[in-house]
C-alpha cells in the first residue's frame, strides 16, 4: 500500500510546503517588477484573481543541473518566439496543485493545507522572470538587437474542481475567462499517483472540463501525478504501478476528449524525497522529477498551439442556435397549413360549443348530452350531501 493511501495523512504535505500553516507565508523574495511582466487583468476584465510578478531570485537556489535543464527549455521556447510561457494547473482538491507550484518556482508561495483541503478560493497568477542563457537577436539596420533578454514563466494556480461531491463549475468558468484574456501554453492536470482507481467523480471532472473549456484543451495538457515516491503493492513493480495509474486516467479522459490521451509526468514535492549526487529529487525508478516535468511541459507547449477559450458551442444555451429560426418557421407552417385547416374542417362538420356562434356549426346532440351529464353530476352531489 502506498504512503498516501486513503485515510492516511502524508507527512510530505506539511514538510515541503506547509510547515507553518498558520504563519504568514512570504510572497516571494524577488523585488516587484513593473511593466509587461505576467498576465495583466486589471482594467480589461472583472476577474477576481491574485497576481504576483517578480524577478526569479530563487532560481539560483535550484541544483545546477536543474537550472541547466530549465534554461535549455526556456531558450528553446524563446527561439520559437515564445519568451512568455503560461502554465495552468487544474485538478481536484488536495491533489498537490499548490505544492507543485511551489516546487516549480522554488518558493513557499502558496499555502498548503496538510489535510488536503484547498486553501485558495480564487485563481493565483504567479510570474517569475529570469535572464535567457542565449540571447535571441535580430538585425535592425545592421545592428543586432536582443529581442528577448528575459524569459517569463507564469503559473496559474486554481481552486479545486470539486466541492463536496459536486463539480465546482465556477472555477472552470473563471478559467475560461482567463483564457479569453491570455492564451494558455500548457495545462498541468494534477492528480495523485497513490490512488488506485478512477472514480465516478473523476469522470465527472473530465466531462465538466471538456464541456466547459472544450475537448481541445486536452491537447495542451500534461497529466501530472504527484506523490511520486509511491511504494507499489506487493508483487508489482514501480513502473507497472505508474503505468497502470496513468493509463487508467488517460483512458477515462479519452472518453471525453475525442480520443486525446495526454502525456504524463510524475513529481514528488516532499523535501524528504531521495536525491541524486547533485541534490536533485529523484523517483524510485531514477527519474529526476522536476527537470522531467518541465521537459514534458515544454514538449507539449511546442507541439501545440496555445489554448484560447472559444465560447462557441461550449454553453448549452448557445449550441444549435442556428436552428431556432428554422424551428419557428416550421411551427408557423404547421399551424397555418395543418392545424388550422383541421380545426376548420372539424367545426364544419361537428360544431364547437366554444367556437363560431353560427347555428350550422353547432352539434345540438353533443351539447345536450354534455348538459345532461352536468345535471346528473349535480344530482349526485346533492344526494351525497343529503345522505350525510
3-state secondary structure string across the chain: CCCCCCCCCCHHHHHHHCCCCCCCCCCCCCCECCCCCCCCCCCCCCCCCEEEEEECHHHHHCCHHHHHHHHHHHHHHHHCCCCEEEEEEEECCCCCHHHHHHHHHCCCCCCCCCCCCCCCCCCEEEEEEEECCCCCEEEECCEEEECCCEEEEEEEECCCCEECCEECHHHHHHHHHHHHHCCECEEEEEEECCCCCCCHHHHHHHHHHHHHHCHHHHHHEEEEEECCCCCCCCCCCHHHHHHHHHHHHHHHHHCCCCCCCCEEEECCCCCCCCECCCCCEECCCCCEHHHHHHHHHHHHHHCCCCECCCCCCCCCCCCCCCHHHHHHHHHHHHHHHHHHHHHHHHHHHHCCCCCCCCHHHCCHHHHHHHHHHHHHHHHHHHHHHHHC
Domain 11-302: assigned CATH number: 3.40.50.300
- What percentage of the chain carries pLDDT values higher than 90? 52
Least confident of 137-151, 163-177, 307-321, 329-343: 307-321
pLDDT for res 9 = 41
pLDDT for res 337 = 79
pLDDT for res 62 = 95
CA 254 – CA 95 distance, rounded (Å): 21
pLDDT for res 124 = 92
Q: Partners of 266 in the beta sheet? A: 225
Least confident of 60-64, 158-162, 178-182, 325-329: 325-329
Could you tell me the pLDDT band of residue 128, with boundaries at 50, 70 and 90? very high
pLDDT for res 338 = 81
Q: 166 or 8: whose pLDDT is higher? A: 166
What number is the average pLDDT over the span 32-43? Answer: 45
Among 301, 101, 309, smallest CA distance to 220 is for 301
Q: Where along the chain do its domains lie?
A: 11-302, 323-387
Considering 132-146, 167-181, 243-257, the range whose residues carry the highest mean pLDDT is 243-257
pLDDT for res 358 = 53
CA 312 – CA 95 distance, rounded (Å): 31
What number is the average pLDDT over the span 281-289? Answer: 95
What number is the average pLDDT over the span 302-310? Answer: 92
What number is the average pLDDT over the span 175-183? Answer: 90
Mean pLDDT over the full length of the chain: 81
What is the pTM for the complete model shown? 0.71
Least confident of 18-22, 177-181, 298-302, 370-374: 18-22
What number is the average pLDDT over the span 285-290? Answer: 95
pLDDT at 236 over 70: yes
pLDDT at 105 over 60: yes
pLDDT at 363 over 70: no
pLDDT at 348 over 80: no
Distances in whole angstroms, Cα of residue 152 to Cα of each of 37, 84, 148, 155: 7, 5, 10, 10
pLDDT at 256 over 80: yes
Q: 103 or 11: whose pLDDT is higher? A: 103
Among 253, 272, 310, smallest CA distance to 12 is for 272
Could you tell me the pLDDT band of residue 321, with boundaries at 50, 70 and 90? low
Q: Which three cell numbers stand for residue 145?
A: 538587437
What number is the average pLDDT over the span 136-157? Answer: 78
**CA angle, 162 then 6 then 218, to 5°:** 45
Amino acid at each position: 500500500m502506498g504512503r498516501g493511501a486513503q485515510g492516511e495523512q502524508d507527512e510530505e504535505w506539511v514538510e515541503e510546503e506547509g510547515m507553518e500553516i498558520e504563519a504568514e507565508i512570504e510572497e516571494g523574495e524577488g523585488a516587484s517588477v513593473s511593466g509587461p511582466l505576467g498576465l495583466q487583468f486589471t482594467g480589461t476584465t472583472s476577474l477576481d484573481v491574485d497576481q504576483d510578478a517578480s524577478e526569479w531570485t530563487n532560481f539560483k537556489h535550484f541544483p545546477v543541473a536543474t537550472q541547466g535543464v530549465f534554461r535549455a527549455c526556456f531558450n528553446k521556447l524563446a527561439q520559437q518566439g515564445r519568451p512568455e510561457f503560461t502554465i495552468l494547473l487544474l485538478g481536484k482538491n488536495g491533489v498537490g496543485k499548490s505544492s507543485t507550484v511551489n516546487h516549480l518556482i522554488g518558493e513557499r508561495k502558496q499555502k498548503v493545507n496538510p489535510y488536503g483541503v484547498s486553501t485558495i478560493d480564487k485563481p493565483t497568477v504567479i510570474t517569475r522572470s529570469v535572464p535567457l542563457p542565449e540571447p535571441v537577436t535580430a538585425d535592425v539596420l545592421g545592428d543586432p538587437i536582443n529581442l528577448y533578454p528575459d524569459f517569463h514563466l507564469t503559473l496559474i494556480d486554481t481552486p479545486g474542481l470539486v466541492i463536496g461531491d459536486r463539480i465546482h463549475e465556477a472555477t472552470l468558468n473563471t478559467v475560461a475567462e482567463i483564457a479569453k484574456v491570455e492564451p494558455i501554453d500548457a495545462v498541468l492536470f494534477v492528480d495523485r499517483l497513490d490512488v488506485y482507481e478512477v472514480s465516478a467523480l473523476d469522470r465527472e471532472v473530465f466531462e465538466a472540463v471538456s464541456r466547459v473549456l472544450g475537448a481541445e484543451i486536452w491537447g495542451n495538457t500534461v497529466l501530472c501525478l504527484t506523490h511520486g515516491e509511491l511504494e507499489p503493492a506487493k508483487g508489482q513493480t514501480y513502473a507497472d504501478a505508474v503505468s497502470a495509474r496513468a493509463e487508467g486516467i488517460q483512458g477515462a479522459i479519452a472518453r471525453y476528449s475525442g480520443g486525446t490521451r495526454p502525456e504524463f509526468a510524475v513529481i514528488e514535492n516532499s523535501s524528504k524525497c531521495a536525491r541524486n549526487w547533485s541534490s536533485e529529487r529523484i523517483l524510485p525508478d531514477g527519474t529526476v522529477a522536476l527537470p522531467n516535468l518541465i521537459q514534458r511541459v515544454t514538449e507539449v507547449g511546442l507541439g501545440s498551439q496555445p489554448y484560447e477559450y472559444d465560447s462557441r458551442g461550449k454553453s448549452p444555451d448557445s449550441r444549435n442556435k442556428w436552428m431556432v429560426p428554422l424551428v419557428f418557421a416550421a411551427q408557423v407552417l404547421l399551424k397555418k397549413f395543418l392545424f388550422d385547416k383541421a380545426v376548420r374542417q372539424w367545426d364544419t362538420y361537428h360544431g364547437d360549443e366554444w367556437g363560431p356562434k353560427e347555428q350550422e356549426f353547432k352539434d345540438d346532440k353533443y351539447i345536450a348530452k354534455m348538459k345532461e351529464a352536468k345535471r346528473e353530476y349535480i344530482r349526485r352531489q346533492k344526494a351525497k350531501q343529503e345522505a350525510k
